[in-house]
Structure 1
Amino acid sequence: MIRVTAELSPRERYQLLTSLVVPRPIAWISTRSEAGARNLAPFSYFGAVSATPFLVSVSIGSRAGVDKDTLRNIRQTGAFCVNVATERQLVAMNESAGEYGPEVDEFDRAGLQSAEAQTVAAPYVADCPAVLECRVSQIVELPGSPNTLVIGEVLCVRLADEVPLIPGTLFADSRALQPVARLWGDLYALIGETPALLRPVVDRAPGAP
Structure 2
Amino acid sequence: MIWDTHALGGRERYQLLTSLVVPRPIAWVSTRSADGQRNLAPFSYFAAVSATPFLVSVSIGSRRGEDKDSLRNIRDTGAFCVNLATEAQLAQVNETSGEWGPEVDEFVMAGLESAQADSVDAPYVAGCPAVLECRVQQIVALEGSPNTLVIGEVLRVRVADEIPMIPGTHFVDTAALRPVARLWGDLYTTLGDLPALERPAV
Aligned pairs (5 A) from 1:16-95: 16-95=16-95
**What one-letter code is carried by the residue in structure 2 that aligns with 1:120?**
V
Looking at structure 2, the residues matched to 30 and 9 of structure 1 have their Cα atoms a distance apart, in angstroms, of 32
What secondary structure does 2:61 align onto? strand
Looking at structure 1, the residues matched to 191 and 56 of structure 2 have their Cα atoms a distance apart, in angstroms, of 21
Q: CA deviation at 1:39?
A: 0.1
Looking at structure 1, the residues matched to 150 and 46 of structure 2 have their Cα atoms a distance apart, in angstroms, of 10
Aligned pairs (5 A) from 1:194-209: 194-202=194-202
Who wins on radius of gyration, i.e. which is larger?
1
Q: CA deviation at 1:7?
A: 0.3
Alpha carbon RMSD of aligned pairs, Å? 0.4
Deviation per CA, 1:35-63: give whole Å up to 9, x if none.
00000000000000000000000000000
How many residue pairs get matched? 202
Residue 80 (structure 2) pairs with residue 114 (structure 1): no
Looking at structure 1, the residues matched to 109 and 5 of structure 2 have their Cα atoms a distance apart, in angstroms, of 38
Looking at structure 2, the residues matched to 32 and 131 of structure 1 have their Cα atoms a distance apart, in angstroms, of 16
Looking at structure 2, the residues matched to 75 and 120 of structure 1 have their Cα atoms a distance apart, in angstroms, of 14
Q: CA deviation at 1:162?
A: 1.7
- Equivalent in the alignment of 2:156: 156
Looking at structure 2, the residues matched to 172 and 162 of structure 1 have their Cα atoms a distance apart, in angstroms, of 11
Q: CA deviation at 1:164?
A: 1.1
Q: CA deviation at 1:177?
A: 0.2
Deviating above 4 A after TM superposition, structure 1's stretches of 4 or more consecutive aligned residues are none
Looking at structure 2, the residues matched to 33 and 192 of structure 1 have their Cα atoms a distance apart, in angstroms, of 38
Looking at structure 2, the residues matched to 144 and 109 of structure 1 have their Cα atoms a distance apart, in angstroms, of 34
Deviation per CA, 1:154-200: give whole Å up to 9, x if none.
00000001211100100000000000000000000101111100001
Looking at structure 1, the residues matched to 172 and 158 of structure 2 have their Cα atoms a distance apart, in angstroms, of 11
Q: TM-score, structure 1 length as denominator?
A: 0.96
What secondary structure does 2:52 align onto? coil
Looking at structure 2, the residues matched to 192 and 148 of structure 1 have their Cα atoms a distance apart, in angstroms, of 32
- Equivalent in the alignment of 2:176: 176
5+ residue gaps in structure 1?
203-209
User: Kindly, what percent of the aligned residue pairs are identical?
Assistant: 75
- Equivalent in the alignment of 1:5: 5
The 8 Å contact of residues 49 and 57 in structure 1, kept in 2 or not, is answered as yes
The 8 Å contact of residues 179 and 191 in structure 1, kept in 2 or not, is answered as yes
5+ residue gaps in structure 2?
none
Looking at structure 1, the residues matched to 81 and 45 of structure 2 have their Cα atoms a distance apart, in angstroms, of 15
Residue 181 (structure 2) pairs with residue 187 (structure 1): no
What secondary structure does 1:135 align onto? strand
Deviation per CA, 1:8-34: give whole Å up to 9, x if none.
000000000000000000000000000
Deviation per CA, 1:137-166: give whole Å up to 9, x if none.
000000100000000000000000121110
Looking at structure 1, the residues matched to 162 and 184 of structure 2 have their Cα atoms a distance apart, in angstroms, of 29
Looking at structure 1, the residues matched to 75 and 37 of structure 2 have their Cα atoms a distance apart, in angstroms, of 14
Looking at structure 1, the residues matched to 97 and 105 of structure 2 have their Cα atoms a distance apart, in angstroms, of 12
